[in-house]
Chains A and B, each alone.
Chain A
Amino acid sequence: MTRLQIEDLTVSFVQYERGLRRRVVPGLAGMDLDVAPGEVVALVGASGAGKSLLAHAVLGLLPPNAVESGRVVVDGFEAAPADRRRFAGRDVVLLPQSVTYLDPVAPVGRQIRRAARLAGLADPAAAAASALHRRGLGAEVLGRYPHELSGGMARRVLVAMALLGRPRIIIADEPTPGLQQESAEAVLDELRARADDGCGVVLITHDLVAALPVSDRIVICEEGRTVDVAAPQDFTGDGERLRHPYTRALWRALPANGLRLPAVGEVA
Chain B
Amino acid sequence: MLTTVLASLLAEIARRILRLVLLLAAVAVASFVLMVNSPVDPISVYVGADIAAIGPQQRALIAERWGFDDPPLERFGAWLGNLLQGDLGYSLTFNQPVGEVIAQRFLTSLALMAVAWLLSGVIGFGLGLLAGVHRGRTLDRVVTWWAYTLASAPTFWVGLLLLYVFSVWLGWTPLCCAVPVGVVADEVDLLDRIHHLLLPAVTLSIVGVAPVVLHTRQAVVEAMESDFVAFARAQGESTSGLVLHRVLRNAAAPALLLQFSSWGELFGGSVLAEQVFSYPGLGAATTQAALAQDVPLLLGIALFTTVFVFVGNQLGDLVHAWVDPRVRRPRLTAGRGVRARALAEEAA
Contacts and interface: CB of A to CB of B under 8 A. Distances in A.
Interface in A9-40: none
Most buried by A among B231, B324, B325, B335: B231
B238 to A, nearest CB: 9
B226 interface: yes
Interface in A53-75: 56, 59, 61
B34 to A, nearest CB: 44
A214 interface: no
A152 interface: yes
Contact of A105 (B232, B323, B346): B323
Contacts of A98: 227
B59 interface: no
Given A104-B326, A105-B323, A96 B236 contact: no
Interface string B27-63: 0000000000000000000000000000000000000
Nearest to B225: A63
A101 interface: yes
Interface stretch (A86-94, A200-208, A254-262): A86-94
A103 interface: yes
B132 to A, nearest CB: 15
Given A148-B331, A148-B339, A96 B325 contact: no
Given A105-B323, A114-B245, A94 B234 contact: yes
B342 A149 contact: yes
A106 B247 CA distance: 11
Given A105-B325, A148-B342, A59 B231 contact: no
Contact of B329 (A119, A145, A153, A161): A145
A215 to B, nearest CB: 22
A1 to B, nearest CB: 24
B231 A89 contact: no
B1 interface: no
A97 to B, nearest CB: 9
A208 to B, nearest CB: 24
Interface string B323-338: 1111001010001001
A114 B244 CA distance: 12
A152 B235 contact: no
A85 B245 CA distance: 18
B228 interface: yes
A150 B228 contact: no
Contact of B230 (A101, A105, A148): A101
Interface string B231-256: 11111110001000110011001000
Given A59-B233, A85-B236, A148 B346 contact: no
Contacts of B338: 144, 148
A85 B231 CA distance: 13
Contact of A103 (B228, B253, B323, B335): B228
A241 B231 CA distance: 38
Nearest to B237: A118
A220 interface: no
A150 B346 contact: yes
A145 B228 CA distance: 13
Most buried by A among B241, B250, B346: B346
Interface size class of B (residues with CB under 8 A): 20 to 34
A258 B249 CA distance: 51
B226 A100 contact: yes
Interface string A133-161: 00000100000110111101100001001
Contacts of A242: none
B342 A96 contact: no
Contact of A89 (B234, B246, B326, B339): B234
Nearest to B327: A105
B237 A145 contact: no
B73 interface: no
A86 B234 CA distance: 10
B301 to A, nearest CB: 39
Contact of A150 (B231, B250, B339): B339
Interface in B124-181: none
A94 B229 CA distance: 13
Contacts of A101: 227-228, 230-231
Most buried by B among A85, A94, A138, A145: A145
A149 B338 CA distance: 8
A211 interface: no
Interface of B: 226-228, 230-237, 241, 245-246, 249-250, 253, 323-326, 329, 331, 335, 338-339, 342-343, 345-346
Please list the 7 inter-chain residue pairs (A to B) with the smallest Cβ-Cβ separation, ordered nearest first: A89-B236, A94-B234, A89-B235, A101-B231, A100-B227, A145-B325, A150-B342
30 contacts: A59-B233, A59-B234, A88-B234, A88-B236, A89-B234, A89-B235, A94-B231, A94-B234, A96-B231, A100-B227, A100-B228, A102-B228, A103-B228, A103-B245, A103-B249, A103-B250, A104-B324, A105-B325, A106-B245, A106-B249, A114-B232, A118-B237, A144-B338, A145-B329, A147-B335, A148-B335, A150-B342, A153-B342, A153-B346, A158-B231
Interface of A: 56, 59, 61, 85-86, 88-90, 93-94, 96, 98, 100-107, 114-115, 118-119, 138, 144-145, 147-150, 152-153, 158, 161
